[in-house]
Chain A
Amino acid sequence: MRGHADRTNRTIMIVLGAIFAAIGGAIIAANTGLFASGFPQRTLLENPAVAWIGGHSTWFWPIAAAAATVLGALALFWLIKILRGPPKAHDISIDGSARTTVGATALRDALTNEIQSYRGVDAARVRVYGDPIQPRLGVKVNLTADARVAEVRNRIEQQALAHAREALDAPQMPVTLDLGVSKKSGPRVE
């Protein structure tokens, strides 16, 4: 289940890119003398910004350190958020309230056990996402090398996933089915 934060990521990247492009464009423009302030004639060490910072170093550096810490914390938070994936559901509501709930782990275990019992399936992994009222399932199945993929896929969709939808009374529950083939072959005597 990737792609949960794609839109936010894209927006942040576009904004940051636009800011940096604007800064670069401004520097190029200054070098070509567009602002007519004598910028291209200055030497490298004659830097008014650095001179200003040097003049106010007593309060400038502590504030810069604080700002950098905040920025670092935000970056770390973002990284964790990206790597951890979408939040897992805990309890799924059955009747739309907290009066009747089914544990997401119970649903996960039941579905995993059913899919893993099928012939041609090496391993299955089920995740339950979303909010308590509208859960979503992510199902990742590893097939054995000699499995008939179309057959197993049909069986998963028409039995296991249908059972899950039936149990939750949610015929429209979105499910992401991810099939892979492992190198292991099924139990067979040769």
Chain B
Amino acid sequence: MRTTQPTTTPRMESPLAEASRVLPEPDYLGDVVISERVVAKIASQAVYETPRAGAAAPRMFGSVMPGAGHMGIRASDLAARPKTSAQIDSSVVYVDMAISVRWPESLADVTERIRDTVEDRIKAWTGLTVARVRISVTDLVA
């Protein structure tokens, strides 16, 4: 019977078959996976470094949430990291952020500077392409 032949048992063959499927070429080193949180941190760091912009307190029904600055709720602070989120779709990044800007700086100026910095840094540090940086200014700090 053929099953008595030890060399043809599937148990012996399987590691080889799997290895040849995972490694298409001998110098394949693996994948680099960049977390969305890392990209979001890079973006928020760029805002943090701008003296004219920073974190914004969350709003509820149009006014700043009571208790902002306590219990882990962000307060509006130009020297703090804002809330950011990033979404990675293959090699394209979409960034969303809610920031505060110093009153009365030109909002177009500040946001354009931030957008440029964020796009350059994400491109340089992760190699991902930034498709869109959505900035919503939710507080103005005097």
Using a CB–CB cutoff of 8 Å, the interface residues on chain A facing chain B are: 91, 94-95, 98-103, 105-107, 109-110, 113-114, 163-164, 166-169
Contacts and interface: CB of A to CB of B under 8 A. Distances in A.
Contacts of A101: 135-137
A27 to B, nearest CB: 54
A13 B107 CA distance: 44
Given A163-B104, A167-B107, A109 B133 contact: no
Contacts of A169: 106-108
A100 B101 CA distance: 13
Closest 10 CB pairs of A and B: A163-B104, A110-B140, A102-B137, A105-B62, A110-B103, A100-B111, A167-B104, A103-B138, A101-B136, A169-B108
A94 B104 contact: no
A100 B106 contact: no
Nearest to B137: A102
B113 to A, nearest CB: 12
Size bracket of the B interface: 20 to 34
B81 to A, nearest CB: 18
Contacts of B111: 94-95, 100
Nearest to A117: B142
Given A95-B108, A100-B112, A169-B107, 7 more contacts: A100-B115, A102-B138, A105-B59, A106-B138, A167-B101, A168-B107, A169-B108
Contacts, number: 75
Contacts of A103: 59, 136-139
B140 A167 contact: yes
5 contacts: A95-B108, A109-B64, A164-B104, A167-B103, A167-B106
A167 B105 contact: yes
Contacts of B112: 95, 100
B37 interface: no
**Which of B62, B111, B139, B140 has the most CB atoms of chain A within a 10 A radius of its CB?**
B140
A103 B138 CA distance: 5
B63 A105 contact: yes
Contacts of A168: 107
Contacts of A102: 101, 107, 136-138, 140
B132 interface: yes
A124 to B, nearest CB: 14
Contacts of A98: 134
B67 to A, nearest CB: 17
A113 B136 CA distance: 21
Contact of A106 (B104, B133, B140): B140
Contacts of B139: 103, 106, 109
Contacts of A94: 107-108, 111, 137
A114 B63 CA distance: 16
A98 to B, nearest CB: 8
A99 B63 contact: no
